[in-house]
Structure 1
Amino acid sequence: MQMKPVALIGPHPAELSEVLRRVFEESHLQLVPHTLPQTHPSSVLQSLSTLGYAGGLISEEFSESYFPYCARVGVEARHVGRIDTLSSLGGGFDATHTLEDSLFQWMENSGYRSAGARLMVIGGNFRARVALQLARLGFVSVMLAAKSMSESEELLKVVPAGIEKYPLVVGGYSFASFMEQQDLLIITEDVGKLRFQPYHQVMDISGVYAQTIAQDGAHMWDSTQLEVLRLSHQLKFLTGRSIAPSLIQWAWQAVQENP
């Protein structure tokens, strides 16, 4: 059977191509990763169709620019106006964005008891919009701290009715004291200096605050697990088959140990 290419669109980790090769081989999938040049989205999508690509993985830097060029877009992608995965399983290309499902699974796998806990999301980008969906897991309250009050109020509209929600401004009056009172913090972008407490649980999906969290003695969730889960969700959408996160973890480790 002829191998079908899978596009890697935009900047990805250098190891990703080899990781995918190993995952596809172990899963007996006739697929091969192929990095594409960075040209106009419409040109790239036309090439994928013409050359018979199975689909593609799109980096965050390009996820917003590709969104307007995809006609069949899943609800998760419409929530944030971005796509990170394309699949040709249905004929033509379907598109999705996998961060929301990955965050929910990361939370589920952690065993964290969200019922009755207090959640604060810090940041005003699309990741904050996605993270606010976790408010549905039984948190007693959710706060959103963005760079302006109008931004916070707008983002909080996605939180379902019946959940206490409070808009805040990062660095504004009472921000620090409210932050101290929270149980789980989700940081989605660099917002400047933050102070953590030893009892805080912290999801840092910005990748900025690891050193500060460690210095302050808070508990930081392992973000590499989120990356593994997300790739698992992407590959399931692309191939139609469940790819175990443990297989992806094994492939990452194998590549790092034997580059």
Structure 2
Amino acid sequence: MAQLAHEAKNKAVHIAELLALYATENKEDIEVTLYQVGEEWGIQAGKRGETPFSLKEMEFIHADMAEQFASHLAKQHGFTYRGVMPNEKEMALQQVIERYSKEILQTVETYVSGDKQGRAYLTKNEMEHMLHNHFIRIENRLEQYFEQPAPKVTFAERFETFKNDLKQFAKDLKQSLVERSTKTKEAVFDQVDVVKLAAEAKIKAGVSSLNERIKDFTKVVDVMLEPEVGVMKSTKKINKQPELER
């Protein structure tokens, strides 16, 4: 819904129209930025301090292509390239986390099973421990890719790598649950419903923590540019280590 609001407030124009609008303006005052459109990206441009115009030719394109097009457009016409702005980074990452949380909730619903009496094959504490370590892995990736990124690696590259890592994490979680259900076959005291409810609560808490983390570091880069000009810096250090299995 937030993205619909974004599209509604920004008038869309063709590149030729944009160039005509700002023909007499100081070109360095025209900023080119990117915004998210669902799972794709669009490019917008406008005078510093004013609502930018969305570019009709450059909507619904992949993140890395959007960055290339936007950077080229700015360079070609003498505009200032600002990349993905902090609020867009925050929204993009939080939407990815939200979709991911729904995926792993479904994984838990499907693969947490038990015997005929409804007793689960893993305890509530084991499930919580598994998810605790799972979310630590995600937090560490957020730090690696977005709080302390490698120089000259664009947001799009980091964003796509992060999404691919989430896919692998989801597979790992599924595999752990499948192995526990199919190989152990030893029911415990906790009921399946109790384990699933505990997992749901843990996932919600994990998502909330990740969203706060994202807010923290996107605030830090409010006045920073993409890696070509400046590199984001972290105010916190996570680098948490997963707990050892007990």
TM-score scaled by length of structure 1: 0.29
Q: Which has the higher helix share?
A: 2
TM-score scaled by length of structure 2: 0.30
Determine which structure has more spread, i.e. the larger CA radius of gyration. Answer: 2
